[in-house]
């Protein structure tokens, strides 16, 4: 995973690439292992040997590549795919979580998908724009098409493409209970987060409230990342922005106000006073001092202690 900065405006709409396969636990590690000296040749995902190397079918190889890009594990360059420094920190054989077993790795992947909107328009839209207490895939299709048109009025999307993307997104967090192929029973990486549940067949609801598996290190990293994307020049950020703004940790992680406040109160000790929470005269906000890339990495490292 890498830290990215949003450009002015929104990223282009993107509704394909995963071949309808939700992200699996070991896929990011498979991609990381295919590189040398931080670089993966482009032919790695297209050569006939790719199927044998990754141990999956051709469509799944394409899906693995998509998820590695969307989660920020790799980025495309002229010479190939460059592995991000944070991905190296986590997925290296001697790293923080080489087998992607820790909930912190899944939370970071979710943050990249639902907080950044790079190759993951549906993920971003679902967690930032859907407010209904319950919903079905069919009920989401038309609003998502309308959202896509606001991103790119000339974008031509088929209903089938939107429907498949929504289905894949929902199954990423709430896997099918029965039926389908053996692949349907493989637990997706994001399924363990408990963010979404199927309350009735085909009907879903978010699970809002405290997230016990969300480490303060990941929450703080996401807070600073969101801050850098949306208000880099500001030395303070209001509680309401952290809790409710589009792309905020409160929205993306589906946290309730009390859970957010408790985490913010502990920021000063957790960050050695580089982030400080104040609540004075009804004005609740977080203040920041200069934070280095190493400070951000230290937040992540503590999430794996």
Place of tokens 């594990």: 73
Q: What is the Cα–Cα distance from 196 to 221, expressed in whole angstroms?
A: 22
Domains of the chain by start residue, with CATH: 27-206 (no CATH), 216-302 (1.10.10)
The per-residue pLDDT for range 232-288, each reduced to its tens digit, is 999 999 999 999 999 999 999 999 999 999 999 999 999 999 999 999 988 999 999
First to last CA, the chain: 18
Residue 9 pLDDT > 60: no
Confidence of residue 152 (pLDDT cuts 50, 70, 90): confident
Under the banding of pLDDT at 50, 70 and 90, the label for residue 176 is low
Q: What's the rounded mean pLDDT across residues 72-81?
A: 96
Tell me: pLDDT of 19 over 80: yes
pLDDT (average), residues 8-12: 62
Over 50: is that where the pLDDT of 7 sits?
no
The CA–CA distances, whole Å, from 221 to 13, 147, 180 equal 26, 28, 38
**What average pLDDT does the segment 22-42 reach?**
95
State the pLDDT at residue 4.
39
pLDDT of residue 250: 98
Catalogue the long-range contacts made by 258-261 (C-beta closer than 8 Å, 24 or more residues apart).
258/210, 259/209, 259/210, 259/211
Task: Work out the pLDDT band at 177, boundaries 50, 70, 90.
Answer: low
Per-residue pLDDT tens over the stretch 121-134: 999 999 999 999 99
**Cβ contacts of 302 within 8 Å, gap of 6 or more:** 215, 216, 217, 270
In the numeric block, the tokens 């303070």 are attached to: 236
Q: What is d(CA 184, CA 192) in angstroms, rounded to the nearest whole number?
A: 15
CB neighbour list of residue 46: distance below 8 Å, 6 or more residues apart? none
Average pLDDT of 175-185?
A: 54
- Using a pLDDT cut of 90, give the percent of the chain over it: 84
Question: pLDDT at residue 8 above 50?
Answer: no
Q: Can you tell me the mean pLDDT for 52-81? A: 95
Share of the chain above pLDDT 70, in %: 93
Mean model confidence pLDDT for the chain? 92
Q: CA-to-CA distance for 209 and 197, rounded, in angstroms?
A: 13
> Which has more confidence, 238 or 1?
238
Predicted confidence at residue 153, as pLDDT, reads: 84
For residue 96, is pLDDT > 50?
A: yes
More confident residue, 2 or 139: 139
pTM to 2 decimal places: 0.93
Predicted local distance difference test score (pLDDT) of residue 6: 38
Task: Kindly state the average pLDDT of the residues 91-119.
Answer: 96
Q: What is the 3-state secondary structure (H, E, C) of 235-248?
A: CEEEHHHHHHCCCC
């Amino acid at each position: 995973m890498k830290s990215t900065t949003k450009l002015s405006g929104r990223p282009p709409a993107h509704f394909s690439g995963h071949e309808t396969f939700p992200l699996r636990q070991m896929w990011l590690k498979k991609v990381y292992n295919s590189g040398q000296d931080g670089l993966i040749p482009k032919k790695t995902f297209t050569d006939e040997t790719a199927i044998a190397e990754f141990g999956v079918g051709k469509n799944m190889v394409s899906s693995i590549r998509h998820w590695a890009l969307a989660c920020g594990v790799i980025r495309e360059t002229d010479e190939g795919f460059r592995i991000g420094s944070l991905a190296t920190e986590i997925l290296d054989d001697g790293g923080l979580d080489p087998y992607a077993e820790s909930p912190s790795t899944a939370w970071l992947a979710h943050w990249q998908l639902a907080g950044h909107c790079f190759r993951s328009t549906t993920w971003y839209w679902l967690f930032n724009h859907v407010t209904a207490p319950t919903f079905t895939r069919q009920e989401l299709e038309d609003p998502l098409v309308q959202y896509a048109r606001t991103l790119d009025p000339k974008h031509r999307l088929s209903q089938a493409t939107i429907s498949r993307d929504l289905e894949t997104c929902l199954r990423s967090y709430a896997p099918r209970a029965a039926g389908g192929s053996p692949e349907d029973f493989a637990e997706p990486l994001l399924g363990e987060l408990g963010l979404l549940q199927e309350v009735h067949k085909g009907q879903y609801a978010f699970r809002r409230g405290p997230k016990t598996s969300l480490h303060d290190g990941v929450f703080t990293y996401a807070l600073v990342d969101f801050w850098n994307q949306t208000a880099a020049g500001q030395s303070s950020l209001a509680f309401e922005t952290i809790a409710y703004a589009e792309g905020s940790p409160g929205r993306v992680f589906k946290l309730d106000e009390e859970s957010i406040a408790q985490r913010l109160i502990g920021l000063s000790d957790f960050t050695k006073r580089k982030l400080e929470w104040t609540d004075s005269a009804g004005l609740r906000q977080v203040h920041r001092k200069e934070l280095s890339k190493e400070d951000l990495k230290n937040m992540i490292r503590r999430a794996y202690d």
